[in-house]
Chains A and B, each alone.
Chain A
Amino acid sequence: MDALVNKRIKRVMKGDQDAFAEIVELYQHQLFQICYRMLGNRHEAEDIAQEAFTRAYVNIHTFDQNRKFSTWLYRIATNLCIDRIRKKKPDYHLDAEVRGTEGLNMYSKIANEEELPEEELMRMEVQERVQYEISRLPDKYRAAIVLKYIEELPLAEISEILDLPLGTVKTRIHRGREALRKQLSNL
């Protein structure tokens, strides 16, 4: 598969747009999935996934062909998602930890503008609820959790995508998992 992708990329580098269409075809669902889980909204996910493909196309000559293309592509997409999430936030100090919560800061508090009341949560379908809880995670935990449990990528690859040391990736997955456990304990 990698050899196949690399052949396409070589053609794209020579200016062949059709070859790029095949690449989009190949990765569209995975990339859309990452964006959707990160942003919790189909419309925005489509927007960002498209933007990620466009950036990949424009900057294709910076891609190192000795590496995995999907890693590079996912990296572009997660960065765009994180940017988008942060832009939506008001500008008080977001990194401040919320009192009485461990590892949770203002990001998580306002991930969704208003927290839904208990009864509302109980009425949600399981999948809807899971997506809601994922979108309440702080963005840095969210990216790690999505890549680990939804894309099911190995830790080493996640560390490359997020440009973080392996240990940091593990910590984020642990914290994200723990936060989700608490959030979902009443399900």
Chain B
Amino acid sequence: MIATLDSNRRWRRAFLIVGGIIAAYALLAPLTSLDAAVSANVPLLADRLWFRIATYIAMFIVMATGWNIIGGITGYAAFGNVAFFGIGAYTTGMLIAKAKWPFLAALPFAPVVAALFAALVGLPLLRLRGHYFAVASLGVGVAVGELVQNIDYGGQPLFGGASGLFLPIDSIANRGLFFFYLMVAAAAISIAVTWWVLRSRFGYGLIAIRENEEAAAVLGVNTTAYKVAAFALAAALTGLAGGIFSQWNVFINQDNAFPIEYNVQMILMALLGGTGTVFGPAAGAILLQLLIQFLGGTLPISFDLPFVSETARPIVAQIILGLLLVGVVIFVPRGVIDFFGGRSRLSLSYLRRSLRETSL
């Protein structure tokens, strides 16, 4: 037993060191793109593609960590959180494009509007449980996207309609660097919020709701208020990511602000990393986003799939992704954070034990 604990601790330390080096590299590499670094002949470690991928990863860390608050900690499997991403994007987008606000003034409204919307739909939706809540929240996710595209005002599409919403191009110096660090800051905020939640009275109430809602209620937890607050908090974080995305991407429409696949991806990231934990969803977001990019062929390290033509590649990539996730859900039900964090060690017996637990 003691030997296992020791080796777990060693495993955890090794992971922390490797993870720390990678994180430091990822956070510092963008600096090599600054003019001063370029003129000092520092090799360029972060090009446009690097920024694009890294910013996307940070964006998904925000969304997966946000989802974790309602889906992982509170236990309400929200399938429509992309609505909050889109609402955040359109809130900031409208304020910039139509009201001509500066970006940083418009950004704080993204989480606020998303949270208000979540509280509004959460009051009726969170009365539903289990599958019913999942399906209803998915419906909201789809409906909001459709509404945004189709609402007209005075004969004109209010939010840009099917042709989308163009934001004025900003004059931010080192754009890639700026938006990368902004998204990383949002990711740090979402992780800090989760850390605080899990240590607070609020968080204990949410976990009690997840474990047994009736029992939580008769022990004095105001279940309705807590669930709505958790939903709004998740929405605020997701909305913040959307708000940053709108100016980063300059153009938003139904396809890029309300992508249905984000709904599934943020849940899978949280599951892969470990739901209900502080760092699990972030770990899952990094791993899954890298995998998606790798299979999609956008990473510098590319590969050729045998017997697969270039046109069939995205489909095969999806299949590989699906199979991998089935495997993760069955064999690593508590997420990769379980052994990255040193609580268990990845071994054959770990996988066998997980299989027994999940196949009950």
Pair from one complex:
no
Please give the residue numbers on chain A whose beta carbons come within 8 Å of chain B beta carbons, in ascending order: none
